[in-house]
Amino acid sequence: MWLDLRSHLIETEQKMQGKEMIERDRVFRLIYGVIERLNEQRKPDERIKGDSDSVLMGSGGSLDSLGLVNLIVATEEAVEQEFGTPITLSENMEYGDERSPFHTISSLADHMMLLLGESRNDENEPSRFIDFRFHNKNSG
C-alpha cells in the first residue's frame, strides 16, 4: 500500500511537471507572438529577439516606457484570448529593476505562470495552472 501511494505521488508529480512544461511552452509562444507584433514598430536593428534570455527592461533592455506599456497591454489581451482568463500585469510595473518581472522574456513568463495560477485559484475552479512557487518549494 505504501508503495502504491508512493508510485501514485511520483506519477502525479511527473504529470504536474509535464503539464507545467506544456503550459510554460504556451506562455512563451504567446509572448513571442506579442513581441513579433511589437517588432513591426521597431527598426530592424532594434527588434527584440524571440529568445527567453532577451532583456526587456533594466540594464541592456530594449523597451522604453511606451514599449513596456504596449507590451503589458498586448500581453494581457493575448492571455485573455488564449487562456480565457484575465490577468493584470500592470500592477507589477517596476521600471528598470532587474528583479522586475519584465526584466527578461523568461522572467515575464514566470510571472505570467504565477498570475495565471492565481487567477484560476481565485475563480475557485479546478486549476489548470499550478502555483509553481508552492509546488517548487515542496518538491525542493
List interacting residues with other proteins (CB under 8 A): 37-38, 40-44, 65-66, 69-70, 72-74, 76-77, 90, 93
Residue 19 near residue 130 (C-beta atoms within 8 A): yes
Q: Residue 41 or 139: which CB sits closer to other proteins?
A: 41
Residue in this structure with the C-alpha cell 527584440, named with its chain if needed: 48
Cα(131)–Cα(115) distance, integer angstroms? 9
Q: Residue 49 or 128: which CB sits closer to other proteins?
A: 49
Q: Residue 16 or 93: which CB sits closer to other proteins?
A: 93
| Closest listed residue to residue 139, CA positions, set 13, 18, 20, 24 | 13
CB of 41 to other proteins, least distance (A): 4
Cα(57)–Cα(59) distance, integer angstroms? 7
CB of 90 to other proteins, least distance (A): 6
| The amino acid at 64 | D
Q: What grid cell was written down for 29?
A: 509562444
Residues 6+ apart with CB under 8 A from 61: 55, 103
CB of 86 to other proteins, least distance (A): 11
CB of 38 to other proteins, least distance (A): 7
Q: Residue 81 or 124: which CB sits closer to other proteins?
A: 81
